[in-house]
Amino acid sequence: MQIQYAKTDSDIISKMHGTFADKEKKKEKKKAKTVEQAATTANKKPGQGTPNSANTQGNSTPNPQVPDYPPNYILFLNNLPEETNEMMLSMLFNQFPGFKEVRLAPGRHDSAFVEFENDGQAGAAGDALQ
């Protein structure tokens, strides 16, 4: 079963809700907004760009960005090789203090959870193996 959701309401639904606006007007507003953004980026001095602007000039492959999540005592591992099992992961994480257990995600061969005694120990292990 596939379900696809619309990003916007249809014209009939938006007329029923009283939020109908011509699509041409929306396009004009969008164009004006992009022109305004282009003008503000053109006025910036070199070096005031985004923090990664220096990285994009000299390096053709961007570094993968890991989002900053709040600390937790359970690490979530994904993109694991198919042959990975609990024993392999427990041997890998057993070297870190506070290690409790490894659980493979049910129904998925490429994900696992590694539990530690506290979030500081889990963070140290995650940083060391990243």
pLDDT at 11: 79
**Residue 67 falls inside a structural domain:** no
**Six-digit token string for 112:** 């696992």
Rounded Cα distance, 102 and 90, in Å = 6
79 and 120 inside one domain: yes
37 and 82 inside one domain: no
**Residue 63 falls inside a structural domain:** no
**Residue 69 falls inside a structural domain:** no
Q: What pTM was estimated for this model as a whole?
A: 0.48
Residue range of the domain that includes 105:
74-129
Q: Which residues contact 60 (CB under 8 A, 6 or more apart)?
A: none
118 and 78 inside one domain: yes
Q: Strand pairing partners for 114?
A: 75, 102
Nearest alpha-carbon partner for 72 in 39, 22, 117, 111: 117
**Residue 2 falls inside a structural domain:** no
36-62 residue pLDDT tens: 777 777 666 555 555 554 444 555 555
**Residue 60 falls inside a structural domain:** no
For residue 101, what is the enclosing H or E element?
A: strand 99-104
37 and 84 inside one domain: no
63-119 residue pLDDT tens: 556 567 778 899 999 999 989 999 999 999 999 999 999 999 888 888 999 999 998
79 and 118 inside one domain: yes
Question: Domain total for the chain?
Answer: 2
**Residue 102 falls inside a structural domain:** yes
**Residue 32 falls inside a structural domain:** yes
38 and 82 inside one domain: no
| CATH label of the domain that carries residue 123 | 3.30.70.330
**Residue 112 falls inside a structural domain:** yes
